[in-house]
């Protein structure tokens, strides 16, 4: 097993046993997230809903169906991307997660980002957007605008559930999704260019000795 896979599995085991906030006692199953350990794209939703809580898997309800069809529209399957959430256990009656719960859960997502080291992070909805953007940022204004951050790009999108409630946003979400392949390609290119420019330095160093 690769190191990354092993680390992600260890983290998922920790999440499944976590009682760091009151949601730990209310869940049926924790939802650590899933996907390839070396995924180029990490999607971050809000938190598990009813079906996710039942199955222990992210985005398996109606939001998940919309997410899958959007992925298909850009030539991807859900098996090719990593899908996680800000909060790993379902808030009762799907209420918004509380600030204390988000804080308690923070380290799990932070570690997932570190381990996977994705080229592109796609935030779905305002709770995951708030992880990377200032509190004054409004999703209706900044959706689809890529933010370069620490050698990757963060792309804030509408949450699929919000689009199911507000069908007039569907076209925006589709358009924003369509920008994903080019964004990934640009970061991929940047990273390989910076790796290539490191190599001659190493060689020069070697010739000194």
Q: Which residues bind ligand SF4 (CB under 6 A)?
A: 15, 18-21, 23-24, 30, 87-89, 101, 104-105
How many chain residues bind ligand URA (CB under 6 A)? 12
Nearer to ligand URA, 24 or 48 (CB): 48
| x-marked contacts with ligand URA along 65-94 as a string, rule CB under 6 A | --------------------x---------
**Cβ atoms 45, 128 nearer than 8 A:** yes
94-103, long-range: CB within 8 Å, 24+ apart, which pairs?
A: 94/49, 94/50, 96/127, 97/23, 97/46, 97/47, 97/127, 100/21, 101/21, 101/22, 101/23, 102/127
**84 SS3 class:** strand
Q: Does residue 101 interact with ligand URA by CB under 6 A?
A: no
Binds ligand URA by CB under 6 A, chosen from 35, 37, 49, 146: 49
Q: Does residue 63 interact with ligand URA by CB under 6 A?
A: yes
CA distances from 193 to 5, 153, 188 (A): 27, 16, 9
Q: Tell me which stretch binds ligand URA (CB under 6 A): 20-28, 42-50, 131-139, 184-192.
A: 42-50
Return d(Cα 184, Cα 42) in angstroms, integer.
11
Q: Does residue 123 interact with ligand URA by CB under 6 A?
A: no
Q: Does residue 108 interact with ligand URA by CB under 6 A?
A: no
Binds ligand URA by CB under 6 A, chosen from 32, 35, 47, 146: 47
Return d(Cα 91, Cα 161) in angstroms, integer.
16
Q: Which two tokens stand for residue 13?
A: 């085991």
Q: Tell me which stretch binds ligand URA (CB under 6 A): 46-54, 70-78, 98-106, 190-198.
A: 46-54
E strands of the chain, at which residues?
A: 41-45, 82-85, 120-124, 147-149, 152-157
Q: Tell me which stretch binds ligand URA (CB under 6 A): 2-10, 55-63, 142-150, 201-209.
A: 55-63
Binding residues for ligand URA (CB under 6 A)? 31, 45-49, 52, 58-59, 63, 85, 161
């Amino acid at each position: 097993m690769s190191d990354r896979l092993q680390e992600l599995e260890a983290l998922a085991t920790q999440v499944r046993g976590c009682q760091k906030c009151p949601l730990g006692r209310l869940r049926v199953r924790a939802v650590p997230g899933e996907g390839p350990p070396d995924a180029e794209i990490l999607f971050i939703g809000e938190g598990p809903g009813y079906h996710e809580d039942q199955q222990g898997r992210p985005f398996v309800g109606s939001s998940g169906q919309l997410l899958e069809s959007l992925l298909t529209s850009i030539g991807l399957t859900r098996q090719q991307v990593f899908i996680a959430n800000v909060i790993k256990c379902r808030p009762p009656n799907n209420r918004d997660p509380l600030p204390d719960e988000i804080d308690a859960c923070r380290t799990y997502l932070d570690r997932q980002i570190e381990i996977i080291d994705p080229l592109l992070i796609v935030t779905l909805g305002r709770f995951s957007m708030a992880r990377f953007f200032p509190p004054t940022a409004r999703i209706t204004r900044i959706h689809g605008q890529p933010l370069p951050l620490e050698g990757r790009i963060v792309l804030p999108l509408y949450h699929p559930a919000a689009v199911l409630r507000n069908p007039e946003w569907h076209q925006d979400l589709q358009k924003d999704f369509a920008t994903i392949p080019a964004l990934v390609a640009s970061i991929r290119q940047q990273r390989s260019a910076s790796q290539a420019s490191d190599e001659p330095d190493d060689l020069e160093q070697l010739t000194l000795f």
